[in-house]
Structure 1
């Protein structure tokens, strides 16, 4: 029996059950151990603000168009993309895998998942890595892709707007790339954590005046060589543009929903020739596409954790058993200053 977390309507979560099917010869069955909750993408579905819920994505033309009933609607059954699990059954033609092996990958908040052998073979967890750290494969790959898109040079000043989970990983990666890193956030706990993890050199609380003006002051009026916006708030994107040096780059990693407010494109963007580039996991920079893909990003994040280059376990602030998933989402929404990575723990017994 498979149990799956489903969003039946905005802010309403239920657990559905269904019988799992038999394996095909080259498939394996995974039992989920841990599943991370994304405080960005998943919450857009939770709140009903995702454009996929009121428009239709035309993949052929890469356009959102008016929906006439064929867009994504509730219930939403594809919640979750930060999972780690264990092989519990192999099809008869599976030759390279064995029961007990640990696997990371996106398959949703569900107790079990069926995957083909190749999917699993490419996503085996390093043997010396704490299993719970497998949840960071996808979200870590998103962060790494953003740092690649930033084209950071050693010695540059990099301003990171937003130190949630993705921002924290971006900060660590930028610092390990030889940058002088400025972290900006509204919550002192996030700034302190990034400082303690040696991910940032300077912490700025966004409520203490203009971050852009402070960054201009510490860079001899030049501004950040690169700014990376990770909050998904268009006002923060505007401040990132203001903070950035003439003819330099802003990487927009946030998921911006609805109409943009507080974005003044006739000001610094126009007069400072700022290059704004979107970065998210659906694609890599064209010039790197021969060498980099999603699997390599995943595997690199796992390797960097195993080698101790990245320290991501401190980002996990809360763990809830699967049958308390509703409380987990409520905690993220109601206590943003106290939460970073929230994890659903499937190893704890599920009450009937």
Structure 2
């Protein structure tokens, strides 16, 4: 699809695609503004939606915005422009995390399936089947992460068990940390007064064997009866070579590209972020450092299973200047 005019309908669609991205606790911590003179969309941090106890450094906020940037890039290309992204473009405006300019005519788009996946992708926190992922698909997911400057490590069963143990330890810490537990519960159903957050129906059940640590949202964890999850979950860790703000934004784009490619293949995913919320546990998510040290940015569970319900999205109106 090609268009030469950024009319209100097209702009609304672009931003709708961006906000379809995943975000921690569905906080959707972003704001959009159109610079109509430069034909550029600005993406700023919505700091009032930041999780100050769970995400004190803002790493998860940056990853969330990175996911939205990737969706925006794909949508811009779908409408016939070349997306020109810049990360942290103005050091004197720390809340401006990225801009994406609508450049000249895009090259022949190869992202049709990914644009379709933007609207279908959402997390599934339900049990998956034991059907393994095809090797060719794992390779394509790895290439998707690499295209955005990240690495995707598909774990062996032994290594997956180790990562899941760290995730369980993190989840236990979260439930006993009063501030974190309160902040987490506030974003379930209530949405912290924003109308966002996570309705209880999207949470999914707990694993009655406690093998896969789905996040515990306190009083809402019993929204579904406990069920048996897959015996050998397919777990991947996405990492970057460095751990700066720009790396967080790139990692978010890589996470979303992986999720969209998975969606295009009918593969479900859920994000296990708990261990990344504790620096000492996050360091242990990666194997011992070698000649290529890396920093874990996301743990992704992949598999075949039910789609699950989607979380709500915010109002998508965009101010212009």
TM-score over 0.5 for the alignment? no
| TM-score (structure 2 length as normaliser) | 0.31
Greater RCO (Cα-Cα under 8 Å, separation 6 or more) = 2
Query: Which entry has the higher C-alpha Rg, 1 or 2?
Result: 1
More helix by share: 2
More strand by share: 1
